[in-house]
A and B are shown apart, each in its own frame.
Chain A
Amino acid sequence: MAKVTIDGQTIEVADGTTILQAARMIGPEVAPPTMCYYSKLKTSGGYCRTCLVEVSKGSEKDPRPMPKLVASCRTTIMDGMEVKNMTSDKVIDARKGVVEFLLLNHPLDCPVCDQAGECQLQDLGYEHGSAKTRTDFKRRTFDKIDIGNKIQLHMTRCILCYRCVKTAEQITDGRVHGVLNRGDASEISTYIEQAIDNDFSGNVIDVCPVGALTDKTFRFKSRVWFTKPVDAHRDCDKCSGKTVVWYKGEDVLRVTGRKDQWGEVEEFICNTCRFDKKKTSDWTIEGPRAISHQSVISANHYTKMVKPRELTLNNIKTIALTEGENK
């Protein structure tokens, strides 16, 4: 066990824990933002640099501060370490820079982006960025391409977090897409047109922090804050079958994995659940999805949500969808 203090709060954690994991254990007020780290993907993190923190004391044994800011998602704690996140001016300054870099080539068309409302970059820019942009150069653009009939890639929005590549590498059995070219010409691609087609390929949509990989079967284009997410499950021979089913009125718009407060899915789901089960009768509804308070989705959430009709007819499970339950 080792003791670490982050922004003045101390916690004891197992050896080998990263600064980021320790910070998340303490709570969201000290947890650095992340754009590329994903706890369920091995070797993720380190790329985006949004989670940089200052180590003001290295350890009990060697109290010297670390000379540079470090990526909290890839730095293991030492006993007695002291870390500054939001209490460090250096961190706040550097993070502002990182946000600016990430937005440099990112389109500023959030109003028309499918991801608006559940985009981690949008949240990040809002919380850590500066209001005005200092570039008047043309942004990098790419055409939208279909990778198979279920997934669309709009590379223009990609921030090269590598999550989708690691997902394909680690949870599917045949990666066909990857990062091509280098530097700021890097792009996520299959090189020759190819369908990403595999039982678990749809998870690349859930891990994408921005609107670069989207669900083509998302039936009605709809602002996500007009949709109502419910936890649901079904018997599935490929995955746990535990999902979030997104409704608009009585229509199932899409199915996704269940995301936790850090925006990560609790479990990866299979493509059958995600793409092929678009009827309420396919699902056992558990109840409204608890959405974190910062999320735009909760700005217009389902306080007035009505029970979908099909559900009542099937009478699968009584669920309480009463006002105010969705804290």
Chain B
Amino acid sequence: MSKKILLEHIGVPGIETLAVYREKGGYSSVEKALKTMTPDAIVEEVKKSGLRGRGGAGFPTGMKWSFLAKPEGVARYLVCNADESEPGTFKDRYLMEKIPHALIEGMITSSFALGANTSYIYVRGEYFYIIKILEKAIADAYAAGWLGKNILGTGYDLDLYVQAGAGAYICGEETALLESLEGKRGNPRIKPPFPAIAGLYGCPTVVNNVETIAAVVPIVNNGGDWYAGIGIGRSTGTKLISASGHINKPGVYEIEMGITVEDFIYSDEYCGGIKNGKKLKAVVAGGSSVPILPAEMILTTANGEKRLMSYESLADGGFASGTMLGSGGFIVMDETTSIVQNLHTFARFYHHESCGQCSPCREGTGWMEKILHKILDGHGTLEDVDLLWEIQRKIEGNTICPLGDAAAWPVASAIRHFRHEFEDYVKNAAAIKNVKHYHNMHNLATA
């Protein structure tokens, strides 16, 4: 059954406006928080809710909040991560476009909980039309007294600003984001210190994803226990999934954690099955960075159970047979898809997006892309496949930030589960010099 919390009012005409949003109960979490709760009590509710970061890493939000340093006389910041650049992910955009006040309300309530008086929403620059929507919504919220000085007469002040990025996936990494917000290159910082101790302008800072912040609203309204009752195990609540690829109904779906993957792909409520009646071949379940799984492994865990849409179930089996929920970017591939070609688009992406600070990622991402290109061009050898494996292995775990791992995992998983396809390209080298011919031969989509 579909469970809508964040998207409850998505169909309501005018829900993007303050007036309609308010009519539907909007901003009640701000009233409740500022007038009846202490900041610590809010943090406590978020802890109880079991909410985990929706940006990809899944770190418990309440715990993150409780790590925030609170030295006397030093400003604290809440920064919302709306950089959303992980291939396959477009849920934050959807939420900000359709219900911008949900994010703004979440920012106010969360900022109050953290004791921040200035907060920023960092939006990827390519989303300028969203920035325009947010700026308008923020102006309306100021005009209505939800932002600014002495909000609701409680003495709490909050300024909220939107910051535009300028095209760099790496700025989704939280410390690169803070660098970028300080007007610098988006180079991830070397940790420690973590942002909770020294973040924006060297001050204690919390960085949270758009969806995480928006989820704070219903948690404050209905209580942490209520939220914890939704979902399954340690995957509490609902999750926005961005579904794309070879499915009948691409789009953003809010699911209750714990529905089966099979249901998500095939039921009409969600993806509506594979396009053109084709067979499912593989899925990248949580954005480009997570391991790709072949159909049988994404639908069923190693011990024969149906795989569920939850942090735990998707990760079941480790990297040998599992993957990760990640950002919820669910990319579906039908039987005609060339895994090697798809991997090439990912490898090109990470090569393009590496900030270049540390040598394994700077050099390794370009190297992997070149080798994949060589294989696709019909010049690859079996040693090249082994070399690819070696390179990803030498990048993983040895870099400053997780982009190195994110570049390594897709390569590792494609080789792990689809090695025969790489070998096919190598063995049919002559044929692929005419790629169309090769693809016809293997019944693959030409692209």
Contact = CB atoms under 8 A, between A and B. Distances in A.
Contacts of A185: 356
A315 to B, nearest CB: 51
A101 to B, nearest CB: 4
B377 to A, nearest CB: 13
A186 B356 contact: yes
A290 interface: no
A104 B358 contact: no
B360 A101 contact: yes
Interface in A74-100: 74, 93-94, 96-98, 100
B398 to A, nearest CB: 5
Classify chain B's interface size.
Answer: 20 to 34
A226 B194 CA distance: 49
A47 interface: yes
Classify chain A's interface size.
Answer: 20 to 34
B398 A104 contact: no
A62 B351 CA distance: 37
Given A101-B363, A137-B370, A183-B365, A47 B358 contact: yes
Interface string B387-405: 1000001110111100000
Contact of A101 (B351, B355, B359, B370): B359
A237 interface: no
B170 to A, nearest CB: 8
Contacts of B398: 49, 52, 68-69, 94, 97-98
A45 B190 CA distance: 9
Contact of B190 (A68, A71, A183): A71
A184 B190 contact: no
A182 B399 CA distance: 16
Most buried by A among B190, B354, B359: B359
A47 B404 CA distance: 13
A135 B367 contact: yes
Given A104-B367, A179-B185, A47 B168 contact: no
A47 B366 contact: no
Given A46-B400, A49-B358, A49-B360, A184 B351 contact: yes
Contacts of A48: 358-359
A255 interface: no
A45 B370 CA distance: 29
Nearest to A140: B366
Nearest to A159: B359
A134 B391 CA distance: 11
A102 B363 CA distance: 7
Nearest to A52: B398
A105 interface: yes
Contacts of A168: none
A192 B287 CA distance: 39
B358 A183 contact: no
B100 interface: no
A155 to B, nearest CB: 13
Given A47-B359, A104-B363, A97 B399 contact: no
Contacts of B365: 183-184
A159 B363 CA distance: 10
Interface string B182-206: 0001000010000000000000000
A297 interface: no
Given A101-B360, A182-B168, A134 B387 contact: yes
B352 interface: yes
Interface string B352-376: 1111111110111111001000000
B405 to A, nearest CB: 10
A160 interface: yes
A160 B362 contact: yes
A160 B356 contact: yes
Interface of A: 45-49, 52, 68-69, 71, 74, 93-94, 96-98, 100-102, 104-105, 134-135, 137, 159-160, 179, 181-186
Given A94-B394, A101-B367, 17 more contacts: A47-B357, A47-B400, A49-B359, A49-B360, A71-B190, A74-B190, A97-B395, A101-B394, A137-B370, A160-B356, A160-B362, A182-B168, A183-B354, A183-B355, A183-B356, A183-B362, A184-B362
- In the A-B complex, the 4 residue pairs with the closest CB atoms: A97-B394, A101-B363, A186-B356, A183-B354
